[in-house]
């Protein structure tokens, strides 16, 4: 008789630890984390990032479970493949356990891939067709998957989608105001930063605020309305270009701007993509930098830098206020990601515009990024929490890999049973 085995639902698997490597690729970076994961705990063993990939001087650094620096080296990292080779050597040098499964952050899976899944040839083919939805991110993610498969052969590879958290948006938020035949082709609001939002919900625990706003503010930025743990609206749309102003991305634009540029400036699709994804946002407004740290330094003497900061904060505040309409009330606002977690001035500028929602900050706590940052008179709680995307990747990867391993064991038992 074949024993019944399964994934997370199998009691025998609940306490089983798996060593999971989480990979989070950016346009010129690769974040990584190695975790020991069971059903109750996700314990980091080592984490780090390869930055400035493809530039003359790369930066590779790693830290241990307590956040203590293990190494920092500056050397050329010509490709994502080179970064993975360096990562594999680091794991060996540090005598880390060999990954039993690898999870990948995937920004967009297109209309057919909306749930986290094991990667096989059919999934890879679908990911290749989804490149046009996120051209900044998807080619690099596919390259990382290929390199990971070659460096960790036979290890389950899992795709964790930023769109999954938003997969069940209500029609009023999901459907775009375009002809129905285009909607039927999958042109709709997908939403992004879903793994970050999941991580915030996980950290908040129970009881979860019924009406929650998550401000994921980094080089990419979005606002999400979460009702009883479920995403009901979010600022990004079909692609990660939409929504609020970002580092180099425009956010929402009058569609007539693109029509005008195509008609009168003869810009083709590639040139328009370059403009809205790489030359707009904070960089476009300021003419100086997409990095708010640089803009803060220049703001006292450069009006364009000051305007870029003000427009970013105004854009975020407007979207937070709009999402309060989707929720009907606001119990809590969480700031997360690089800017949201670390830039007290930006948080203050945003929250100052949300006085109508009853938002009040404790200036001292905000300046120290000491959670929570709201004062006792605020009608809603305002918090600062880290985005823990990689931990979410590790959790999903463990669950899906356990299921795959159980299937292999079951098939092996069946084959052996026939042989015997």
The angle formed by the CA atoms of residues 320, 198 and 126, to the nearest 5 degrees, is 105
Task: Give the model confidence (pLDDT) of 128-165 as tens digits.
Answer: 998 888 887 888 889 889 988 988 888 999 999 999 99
Residue pair 22/33 in contact by the 8 Å Cβ criterion:
yes
Beta bridge partners of 71: 62
Residues 39 and 55 both lie in one domain: yes
User: What pLDDT is recorded for position 350?
Assistant: 97
Alpha helices, DSSP H, located in 3-120? 11-14, 80-93
What is the total residue count of the chain?
Answer: 420
Here the CATH number for the domain that contains residue 213 is 3.30.420.40
Closest listed residue to residue 152, CA positions, set 107, 92, 62: 92
Residues 322 and 377 both lie in one domain: yes
13 phi and psi angles, rounded to 5 deg: -95, -15
Domain of 324, in residue numbers:
208-384
State how far the Cα of 311 lies from the Cα of 305, in Å rounded to an integer: 10
State how far the Cα of 95 lies from the Cα of 146, in Å rounded to an integer: 24
User: What pLDDT is recorded for position 9?
Assistant: 55
Residue pair 49/180 in contact by the 8 Å Cβ criterion:
no
Q: Is residue 168 domain-resident? A: no
User: What pLDDT is recorded for position 136?
Assistant: 76
Residues 152 and 15 both lie in one domain: yes
State how far the Cα of 9 lies from the Cα of 158, in Å rounded to an integer: 19
Task: Give the model confidence (pLDDT) of 94-137 as tens digits.
Answer: 999 999 999 999 999 989 999 999 999 999 999 999 888 888 78
Q: Is residue 169 domain-resident? A: no
User: What pLDDT is recorded for position 416?
Assistant: 44
Residue 200 CA from chain centroid, whole number? 12
Q: Is residue 85 domain-resident? A: yes
What percent helix, strand, coil does the chain show, rounded to 5?
40, 20, 40
Residues 344 and 399 both lie in one domain: no
Residues 324 and 356 both lie in one domain: yes
User: What pLDDT is recorded for position 410?
Assistant: 46
162 is catalytic: yes
Residues 234 and 376 both lie in one domain: yes
Residues 250 and 376 both lie in one domain: yes
Residues 212 and 101 both lie in one domain: no
Residues 360 and 216 both lie in one domain: yes
Low-confidence ranges of the chain (pLDDT < 50): 1-6, 409-413, 415-416
> What Å distances lie between residue 246 and 1, 62, 276, 303, CA to CA?
58, 27, 10, 19
Q: Is residue 17 domain-resident? A: yes
User: What pLDDT is recorded for position 309?
Assistant: 97
The number of domains in the chain is 2
Give the active site residue among 59, 93, 162, 302. Answer: 162
DSSP secondary structure letters along 212-276: EEEEEESSSEEEEEEETTEEEEES--SSTT-SS--SS---S--HHHHHHHHHHS---HHHHHHHH
User: Full-prediction pTM beyond 0.75?
Assistant: yes
Beta bridge partners of 37: 18, 42
Residues 86 and 145 both lie in one domain: yes
Q: Is residue 193 domain-resident? A: no
Q: Is residue 174 domain-resident? A: no
Residues 80 and 219 both lie in one domain: no
Q: Is residue 190 domain-resident? A: no
State how far the Cα of 222 lies from the Cα of 244, in Å rounded to an integer: 6
What is the β-pairing status of strands 157-161 and 101-106? parallel
Residues 49 and 126 both lie in one domain: yes
């Amino acid at each position: 008789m074949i024993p019944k085995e399964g994934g997370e639902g199998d009691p025998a698997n609940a306490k089983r630890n798996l060593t999971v490597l989480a990979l989070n690729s950016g346009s010129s970076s690769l974040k990584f984390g190695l975790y020991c994961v069971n059903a109750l705990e996700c314990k980091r063993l080592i984490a780090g990032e390869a930055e400035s990939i493809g530039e003359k001087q790369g930066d590779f650094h790693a830290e241990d479970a307590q956040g203590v620096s293990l190494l920092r080296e500056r050397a050329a990292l010509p490709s994502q493949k080179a970064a993975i080779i360096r990562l594999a050597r680091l794991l060996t040098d540090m005598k880390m356990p060999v990954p039993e499964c690898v999870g990948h952050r995937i920004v967009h899976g297109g209309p057919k891939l909306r749930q986290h899944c094991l990667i096989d040839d059919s999934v890879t083919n679908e990911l290749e067709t989804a490149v046009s939805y996120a051209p900044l991110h998807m080619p690099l993610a596919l390259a990382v998957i290929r390199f990971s498969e070659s460096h960790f052969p036979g290890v389950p590879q899992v795709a964790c989608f930023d769109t999954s958290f938003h997969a069940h948006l209500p029609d009023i938020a999901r459907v775009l105001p375009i002809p129905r035949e285009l909607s039927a082709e999958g042109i709709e609001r997908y939403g992004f930063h879903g793994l970050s939002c999941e991580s915030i919900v996980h950290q908040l625990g129970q009881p979860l605020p019924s009406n929650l706003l998550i401000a994921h503010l980094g080089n990419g930025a979005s606002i999400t309305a979460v009702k009883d743990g479920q995403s009901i609206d979010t600022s990004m749309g079909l692609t990660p270009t939409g929504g609020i102003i970002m580092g180099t991305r425009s956010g929402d634009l009058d569609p007539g701007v693109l029509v005008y540029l195509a008609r009168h400036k003869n810009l083709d699709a590639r040139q328009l993509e370059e403009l809205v994804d790489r030359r707009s946002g904070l960089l476009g407004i300021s003419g100086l930098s997409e990095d708010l740290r640089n803009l803060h330094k220049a703001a006292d003497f450069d009006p364009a830098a000051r305007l870029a900061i003000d427009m970013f904060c105004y854009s975020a505040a407007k979207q937070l206020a709009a999402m309060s309409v989707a929720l009907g009330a606001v119990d809590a606002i969480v700031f997360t990601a690089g800017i949201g977690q670390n830039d007290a001035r930006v948080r203050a500028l945003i929250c100052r515009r949300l006085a109508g929602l009853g938002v009040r900050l404790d200036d001292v706590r905000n300046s120290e990024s000491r959670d929570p940052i709201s004062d006792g008179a605020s009608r809603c709680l305002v918090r600062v929490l880290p985005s823990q995307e990689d931990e979410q990747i590790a959790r999903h990867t463990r669950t899906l890999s356990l299921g795959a391993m159980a299937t292999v064991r079951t098939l092996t038992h069946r084959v052996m049973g026939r042989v015997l």
